[in-house]
Structure 1
Amino acid sequence: MPAPIVAVSPDYRTPPSVITAIIGISAVASLFLAWLVYYHPPVDVAGTHLAFLPALDAVLNALCAFFLVLGFRYIRRRQITAHRNSMFGAFIVSSVFLVAYIVNHILHGDMLFPRAYPIARFIYLWILLTPHILLAVVCLPMILITFFLSLTGRFPAHRRLARWTYPIWLYVSVSGVIVYAMLASYR
């Protein structure tokens, strides 16, 4: 049985220390991921161990996008409990994605797009990958703060931030699937 949905007084402010902590944790996580992707030498250079992880990441991104769209649909219909469950589904799937992504990069390192396809590589790098990475970095603290606001009953603030978080999170999830599909099709 889900916890009852209770709003706090509109006068109750979100503690700045919580927001600062969420942003700090997100910054450390982003720096760790940047180090992992760009500087950490892969453990399994041959790519034989857990070779299914990139495909799993794409499936998890697609599932996240599905839950996000479902959650948006539910909130538009004022089905609060179904919305909440869908958003928890998106959060859980994204969390599992992050673990699989980290393990994949520890083992295999970063997958580079082949230079033999310059037009496709340009599309991959500048249209998909660059905004995907930048928005993923921005999205992490937004997701955590949006969840914090909801879980603590600060629904007006939750709604205001969710209007920005939702499209960015959805873009990152969908573009993650496209990035995988492009890498897989040109390898």
Structure 2
Amino acid sequence: MSSKKPITIDLLKNISFAKALGVILLISGIAFGFLIWLIYYKGGSDHSSTLISSLPALNALLNSASTVFLLFGYQAIRQRDFTRHMKFNLTAFVTSTFFLISYVIYHNFHGHTPFPGEGLIRPIYFFILITHIILSALVVPMILTSFYLAFAGKLKLHRKVSKVTLPVWLYVSVTGVVIFFILNAYA
């Protein structure tokens, strides 16, 4: 059964946008700082297993799933089916969260992955990687803000934020998969 009425959470309606944005930015900043430390400063451990080495493939699968759910969510909102839109976007959020958990576990054991490719692929890879990293840092607060605005019933602002959030989230999800395949081709 589809719903044409947006779903809101009363508790969020009582939280000001400024306060919600402050909390979102604080959480996002701490998470990004942790990831930078984990990947570039902590270094990997000596522990290795088949499970750990299979996590990049799982990450690519989870990013692919997020992409598909986002596209289905976009299609649902174009049809003004708020319930399906919400379910697909929440599922995309869950798959992205599972990706993040898997990513953290992998980099906790593996550390930084150097790129061995030479020639033209090297600047292409680093362009994709750098834009992916920058936009992944920005997309987390954008996603959380979009969800806050939707569930707080601030739909006009939700639409404006989400028009930017969707393409950025899609770019981050798709380039995550592209990075995986490029790394595998040169491993």
Which structure: greater helix fraction? 2
CA contact (8 A) 1:7 1:154 kept: no
Identity over the aligned pairs, expressed in percent? 38
Tell me which residue corresponds to 2:17. Answer: 15
TM-score by length of 1: 0.90
Structure 2 residue 128 is the aligned partner of structure 1 residue 131: no
Mapping 1:24-35, distance limit 5 Å: 24-35=26-37
> What is the match of residue 45 of structure 2?
43
Unaligned runs of 5+ in 2: none
CA deviation after TM superposition for structure 1 residue 4, in Å: 6.7
Alpha-carbon RMSD: 2.2
Given candidates 111, 114, 118, the residue that maps to 1:112 is 114
Q: Would you say 1:144 and 2:159 are equivalent positions?
A: no
Residues 71-128 of structure 1: per-residue CA shift (max 9 Å, x gap): 001111111111110000100000000000000000111211104x2211111002x1
TM-score normalised according to structure 2 size: 0.90
8 Å CA contact retained: 2:56, 2:106: yes
| Change over 3 Å in CA distance of 1:15–1:4 after alignment to 2 | closer
Question: Aligned to 1:171, what secondary structure does the other structure show?
Answer: helix
2:48–2:109 CA contact under 8 A, matched in 1: no
Residue 121 of structure 1 corresponds to which residue in structure 2? 122
Where does residue 72 of structure 2 map in the other structure? 70
Contact 1:49 1:107 in 2 (8 A): no
Deviation at 1:45, TM superposition (A): 6.0
How many equivalent pairs are there?
182
CA spacing shift, 1:52–1:157, aligned 2, 3 Å: same
